[in-house]
Structure 1
Amino acid sequence: MAKLMCLCFIILAIAVAVSADECKGDRQDMIKECGQYTKWPAEPKLDPSKACCAVWQKANIPCLCAGLTKEKEKIWCMEKVGYVANFCKKPFPHGYKCGSYTFPPLA
């Protein structure tokens, strides 16, 4: 029984480690290509580059949102993130929660 519990713990630890790194590449690409368009202050909102939109289109947004902490929200302006999402034609659905931010309906 102890061996089974130990094995279950190891499997769980591996699963958590793998899921934590699941979108690391997307996160790095997003910072590199879209960072200048999504950081505070909220204004001005600039149209993102084609490279940013290409990254946005392929990114695992649910994974990125799951890793968004309060500390990261002090860096990334979620209003600007929403602007980039809309501009790049991959908007957040009404009521979508990303970190602690819930996106309003599209205008």
Structure 2
Amino acid sequence: MAKLLSLFSILAFVVAMSIVGSQAEDCAQDLSGLMSECKQYVMFPANPKMPPSDSCCGVVQKVNIPCLCSKVTKEIEKVVCMEKVVYIADKCKRPFSHGFKCGSYTVPAK
């Protein structure tokens, strides 16, 4: 598990460094907040899904989701369970709409 968290941290760092454009600073800051507050809720395995903490939801409420989702790669999807990401967003009252793409993951209908 420690190796998996280290891999996630490395991948997240690579993503943060690859973010360019006018939203770069905000998006990188969003990623940092998500890593510190939410990573335990979005890692594989897909089950069980745990309700997020208030601090995780606080970060989810503020992030630039389109910016972050545009940076999700196949490598990140090997470490981060996109089903759990959608679950956490929903629990934090910031649900993804049906058909929204985050990386290569398309949000299914409920």
Aligned to 2:78: 74
Aligned to 1:31: 35
Q: Given the superposition, is the C-alpha separation of residues 93 and 67 from structure 1 closer, same or farther in structure 2, using an over 3 Å criterion?
A: same
- Compute the TM-score of the two structures, normalised by the length of structure 1: 0.80
Greater radius of gyration (CA): 1
Q: Does residue 91 in structure 1 map to residue 82 in structure 2?
A: no
Instruction: Give secondary structure in 2 for the equivalent of 1:47.
Output: coil
Q: Does residue 65 in structure 1 map to residue 51 in structure 2?
A: no
CA distance in 1, matches of 2:97, 2:67: 16
CA distance in 2, matches of 1:66, 1:30: 15
CA distance in 1, matches of 2:26, 2:62: 14
Unaligned residue ranges in structure 1 (runs of 5+): 1-15
Deviations 1:65-98 (A, max 9, x none): 0110000011110010011011001000110000
Aligned to 1:8: none
- The count of corresponding residues between Structure 1 and Structure 2 is 91
Runs of 4+ in 1 over 6 A off after TM superposition: none
Letter of the aligned partner of 1:86 in structure 2? D
- Equivalent residue for 1:54, pick from 55, 58, 66: 58
The alignment yields a C-alpha RMSD, in angstroms, of 1.3
Identity %: 55
Unaligned residue ranges in structure 2 (runs of 5+): 1-19
